[in-house]
Structures are given as structure tokens and as C-alpha cells.
Amino acid sequence: MIQARYARSVRILHWLLAALLLLQLAFGWWVGELPRNTPERGYFINLHKSIGMVTGLLILLRIYWRFTSTAPTLSITMSHWQQRLATAGHHLMYLCMLALPLSGYIASNFSRFGVKFFNTMTLAPWGPNDKGVYSFFNRLHSLSGWLLLTLVVLHVLAAIGHGLRRDGIFFRISLWPL
């Protein structure tokens, strides 16, 4: 029997984005601890912003591919409420995945620093230097980071559960066989 799986592009992006997002979460918390107004902090913050912007584009591509290809249905092995919980969790993760790069990008454009893309190309801010707007989006950035981390922990626990039950859910997103 051929089991239903996500499209190859969706599977590749799931794992690439999982790696990039976990890296960016750790990087974001680390970079926040660096002493302010130092060249070191500026260098790493711009690296975080640049990787985040590239990640944001990949997220848009993932969401586009996900919702333009047919997703496998969950009905075979899971009860109705389990399916609804899984879908709600996935949608919330997509929301956080959009909110993180977007809030970071908007916040950066309401500060005088803007973005120095990979520390080579200066992208001048398109907004005024506004502390209120900056801190609103900065708080949203931090909040969505914590929410995504919480959801990912629950997601991985659920995935381990499926793996142990060998119910085929893991296979739907696995890279092997491609």
C-alpha cells in the first residue's frame, strides 16, 4: 500500500525550517544578552536579522506550497478531537512562523539602525525612529518566540508518540525515501 505523504517540497522545507528556526530562536536569546552599543552586538544582531529575513522568505514559500498542494488526511489513525488538536497546533505554529520574521523586520525599521544585510549591504529603515512602535513589535517578537518554542516542544512529544506507535504519521513528513 502506498501511504499518503506531504509533497516533497513541503517535506524538505519542514526539516530545513525546523533547523533554521531552532537556530534562530537560540541565536535570538543569545544575542539579546550581548552588551549594548558594542560592535560585537551590532555584528551578531545584523547576522540574526539577515538569517531571519531569508528564513521568512522560505516560510512564505513553505506556506504557499503547503496550501497549494494536497495534504494527506489524518483520518486513518487518529480520533476526531486528536485531528482537530493537531491541525490547530500546526496552524498556530504557522502563525508564529509568520509573526517572528515580520515583527522583527517591522521593529528594525522603526529604529535608527535598520538592517545591515549580512553585514555588507545597508538597508535604510523605511520608518521613523519610534521607540513606542519598536518596543511593541519587539515584544511581539519575543512573545511569538516563546509561544513557538512551547508549541515545538509539544509537537516533538506528539511526534515521538506517533513514532513509538508506528502509525505512519512520521513517514508522511520524513525525508527518507525522498
Place of cell 517578537: 141
CB 169 within 8 A of CB 77: yes
DSSP state of 178: -
Instruction: Give the shortest CB-114-to-ligand HEM separation in angstroms.
Output: 9
CB 9 within 8 A of CB 70: no
Task: Give the one residue of 43, 44, 65, 94 binding ligand HEM; rule: CB under 6 A.
Answer: 94
Q: How far is CA 150 from CA 13, 107, 114, 161, 173, in A?
A: 21, 23, 29, 17, 21
Determine phi and psi for 99, rounding to 5 degrees: -65, -35
Instruction: Give the shortest CB-94-to-ligand HEM separation in angstroms.
Output: 6
Instruction: Give the shortest CB-4-to-ligand HEM separation in angstroms.
Output: 9
Report if residue 101 touches ligand HEM, rule: CB under 6 A. Answer: yes
Report if residue 141 touches ligand HEM, rule: CB under 6 A. Answer: yes
Residue numbers of the site for ligand HEM (CB under 6 A)?
A: 14, 18, 21-22, 24-25, 28-29, 32, 45, 48-49, 52-53, 55-56, 66, 71, 74, 86, 90, 93-94, 100-101, 104-105, 108, 115, 138, 141-142, 145, 152, 155-156, 159, 162, 169-170, 172-173
